[in-house]
Amino acid sequence: MKIAFTGGVTGGHFYPHIAVAEELRCIAAENHLLDPTLYYLAPTPFDEKALFENNIQYVRIPAGKTRRYFSLENFTGIFTTLYGTLRAFFTLFRMVPDVIFSKGGFGSVPVVLAARLMRIPVVAHESDSKPGRATLLAAKSAERIAITFDSSIQYFPKKVQGKIARTGIPVRARLMEPYAEGAAEKLSLDPTAPTVLILGGSSGSTRINEIILAALSDLVQYANLIHQTGKENFEDVSARSRVILKNVAEVARYRAFPYLTQESLRRAYTVADVIVSRAGATAITEISLAKKPAILIPIPEAVSHDQKTNAYSYARTGAAVVLEEENMTPHILVSEIRRITSNPEVAERMRQSAEGFANPHAARIIAEELIRIAHSHSNPL
């Protein structure tokens, strides 16, 4: 059995593949089946270590990104996608996968187009409340469509809505296992202070970094900060934070990381009293499963069409508050963090509201469907 994954170039697109791959191998072991042969077809490998650990073979397939604003790269991107589709066609011809799992994003388009030409079944997954263009393209010929928000059904053509199932977003199994003890010690946190986890998405957020730095001297007065800055921003943020905290006694309460590995993120989720995050659907799902109060700062709609809708959909449960970037100041963010961390009743209500929003079994449901389709494809009789 051969299964191929394809998707965009962010953590929100990539790590659900890893979660499904983990479940595919678990199902194979439980049923005494041969391990499936797994491939990842995308413009970049994103996390080569995760691919290696899950025995997933990476094949580079170029893809062009179409931006929502005028850019000459939109024109050149068309030719990149056409070349990528041709390359994907010959790759799939040699590989002959039984089914393809697409997470959407521009990186998936060439593989989905080539799969349609070769009549290879595709399972499409949409994380956001408003489907992206790549998912809507895949939906036209997809065998099955998995969604996260019920509200996204209205955006799909009526003729494919019978193929849709609300599964939620696959999350790596290890992230859902909280540390029993010792997480705070491993992160060298002050046990007398609440802990704030700051996530700006897999690449970090320059805007969130700027707000945190502006509020840093106030925040460390009463809280530990675990700050994922993004790899490209880490050196700049670290240097500026050292200057800001040069004469501050609580300097040790601030911990900056370029990127949080799975184990580091698992520890951080365990110890966090509140999480400040972008509003990508994968991040929201992980926050919900961790049952933590959240402050969501969505990317503006001019840049991303989905995060604002995601944020307010989740906030309606009572598990999060939304601070829109254009209205946010350091003072507003600090006040909201203080309100949540200093009021146990508010924090507990938010934790309870988070429970039940996300489906912890999403990866298993999708893996089982991929196996079912793969068997019917490879064994049509």
pLDDT for 68 equals 55
pLDDT for 381 equals 34
pLDDT for 11 equals 87
pLDDT for 222 equals 93
Each of the 381 residues of the chain gets a pLDDT tens digit; together they read 999 999 988 888 999 999 999 999 999 999 988 899 999 999 999 999 999 999 999 999 999 776 555 565 665 778 999 999 999 999 999 999 999 999 999 999 999 999 999 999 999 999 988 898 999 999 999 999 999 988 899 999 999 999 999 999 999 998 888 776 788 888 889 999 999 999 987 677 899 999 999 999 999 999 999 999 999 999 999 999 999 999 999 999 999 999 999 999 999 999 999 999 999 999 999 999 999 999 999 998 766 668 999 999 999 999 999 999 888 899 999 999 999 999 999 999 999 999 889 999 999 999 999 999 998 876 443
- Per-residue HEC secondary structure of the chain comes to CEEEEECCCCHHHHHHHHHHHHHHHHHHHHCCCCCCEEEEEECCCCCHHHHHHCCEEEEECCCCCCCCCCCHHHHHHHHHHHHHHHHHHHHHHHHCCCEEEECCCHHHHHHHHHHHHHCCCEEEEECCCCCCHHHHHHHCCCCEEEECCHHHHHHCCHHHHHHEEECCCCCCHHHHCCCCCCHHHHCCCCCCCCEEEEECCCCCCHHHHHHHHHHHHHHCCCCEEEEECCCCCHHHHHHHHHHHCCCCCCHHHEEEECCCCHHHHHHHHHHCCEEEECCCHHHHHHHHHHCCCEEECCCCCCCCCCHHHHHHHHHCCCCEEECCHHHCCHHHHHHHHHHHHCCHHHHHHHHHHHCCCCCCCHHHHHHHHHHHHHHHHHCCC
pLDDT for 330 equals 94
pLDDT for 380 equals 44
pLDDT for 379 equals 46
Q: Which domains does the chain have, with CATH numbers?
A: 2-171+360-378 (3.40.50.2000), 177-354 (3.40.50.2000)
